[in-house]
Amino acid sequence: MNTSDFQVNNLPNPDKIYPRTYDDTICYLKNVISNPNIIVGDFTFYHDFNDPRNFEKQNVLYHYPVNNDKLIIGKFCSIAFGTKFIMNGANHTLSSLSTYTFPVFSEEWDNSLNVTEAWDNKGDIVIGNDVWIGFEAVIMPGVHIGDGAIIGTRALVTKDVPPYSIVGGVPAKVIRKRFEHSIIEDLLNLKWWDWSYEKIQANIAAIQSGDIDSLKKPKNIR
């Protein structure tokens, strides 16, 4: 489907930079990313009072190419101003007798040192679909956040977050689940974010109103 198809069929267009007319504080994030190690799904947006197009440099920190770690963000996520993703390059190794990053300064000390040995690699940061990350939250290396989770304002997320959980605090802890277990299971099975644009559009009323029964019997659109 190309851009003209969205216009003709009155469908939302995930290839826009700014989804709201005359509003340059919100952007569809995937369309302003150039780093191949940052992967963002359709319709995920970032809000910034200055310029959301600077997300890659100002919000994804210590992301050194030599480490090859990834930031993976799913579809339909809402990322608030000032959210920071701290990548592995921010770490200092704990297996050494010193936390000083000698390998980073190998030209000063020993050219045989491997720069990636200066930090502990905790893996990729992976954000699920339909995740809301609040104002100035900080996500630490290797954290996985499940579908439908909510990250509170200025939370420091150091551990994985289960799907459809609300977390907050420093360090972040689970406050409560958003829904009862059966509804969470239904949502994880439905994966509405993977539906076609037309199908989502036809079922927005059920999504917005919390009508899980209607969503389990969606309008007959593929």
Q: Which residues are catalytic?
A: 92
The residues, ordered by sequence, that sit 6+ positions from 129 with a Cβ below 8 Å of its Cβ are 41, 74, 75, 76, 77, 147, 148, 191, 193
How does DSSP classify residue 75? S
Q: Which residues, in sequence order, are CB contacts of 25 under 8 Å at separation 6+? A: 47, 48, 49, 52
80: exposed, middle or buried (Cβ count in 10 Å: 0-12, 13-18, 19+): middle
Cis peptide before 171 (omega within 30 of 0): yes
Residues in the chain: 222
